[in-house]
Amino acid sequence: MKSPNCVAMTLALVMCGQWVLSGVARQETNASVKAIVSQARSYVDGTAWTPPGAIAPADIEQYKGLFIADVLRKAGAAPWQPGAAAPVGDPTPSQWADPSFEIKGWTVVFAPDKAEGLTARQILGLYRKPGDVVAQDNRVGIVVDERHTISVSPKGGRVERSYWSFGMPDATEYGSGATFEQAAKAMVAKFTVRRFAGAS
């Protein structure tokens, strides 16, 4: 039963502001994808990447980038020199988010300026696959399934599994499918998405 916050839309199925992607769930068949997703999931609700105390705002961006680098390195998907300055070292979230910034071993599969002609549903279906790294501004995360990303929380550095990068507007706030689609596309098209060269 749908909650009062949910509404049926003709352009797609929507569940409480989240797309319900149709079709058979994607199979994580590639070894690199499995390794990346497994490593990311292993940190959720754990303490290995939780700071012992409050983390300074100036350090949060670097902390987020180091978490991603640690996960990818353990999964064999970080072919750069650890601890060195980018572009040969660990990229920062803002570097992951910049589609013009080259990251060794990773290909940009979607950038905000490539959204023309695509619907919000197409963007999510084609450019949010397990193992992808998704970034916007000073935040970066790893897609682990059709609706979730694992990243360092902007509030204190805790590792969390969330709808971040999949977030959708509340359909009940829009009077038509067209206006909802416009708002939905704006939300999902603002991220840069990269895919490991070994995972394609």
Per-residue confidence in pLDDT tens, the chain, 200 aa:
434 333 333 233 333 333 334 333 344 448 889 999 999 999 997 666 666 666 676 677 778 888 999 999 999 998 887 766 555 678 989 999 999 999 999 999 999 999 999 999 999 999 999 999 999 998 999 999 999 999 988 776 678 999 999 988 888 888 888 999 999 999 999 999 999 986 54
87 vs 90: CA distance, rounded Å: 8
Structure confidence at residue 53 (pLDDT): 66
What is the b/e burial string over 163-197, where b = at least 16 CB atoms within 10 angstroms of the residue's CB?
A: ebbbebbebeebeeeeebbebbbebbbebbbbbbe
The conformational region for residue 23 under phi > 0 = left, psi -120 to 50 = alpha, else beta, is left
158 within a domain of the structure (yes/no) = yes
163 within a domain of the structure (yes/no) = yes
Amino acid at 168: M
Structure confidence at residue 142 (pLDDT): 98
108 within a domain of the structure (yes/no) = yes
**E strands, the chain, in order:** 14-15, 18-19, 106-110, 133-136, 139-143, 149-152, 159-162, 192-196
What is the domain count for the chain? 1
Host domain of residue 65: 14-199
Structure confidence at residue 200 (pLDDT): 46
Q: Are strands 149-152 and 139-143 parallel, antiparallel or unpaired?
A: antiparallel
Structure confidence at residue 158 (pLDDT): 79
Instruction: Please tell me what DSSP assigns to residue 173.
Output: G
86 within 8 A of 69, measured Cβ to Cβ: no
114 within a domain of the structure (yes/no) = yes
5 within a domain of the structure (yes/no) = no
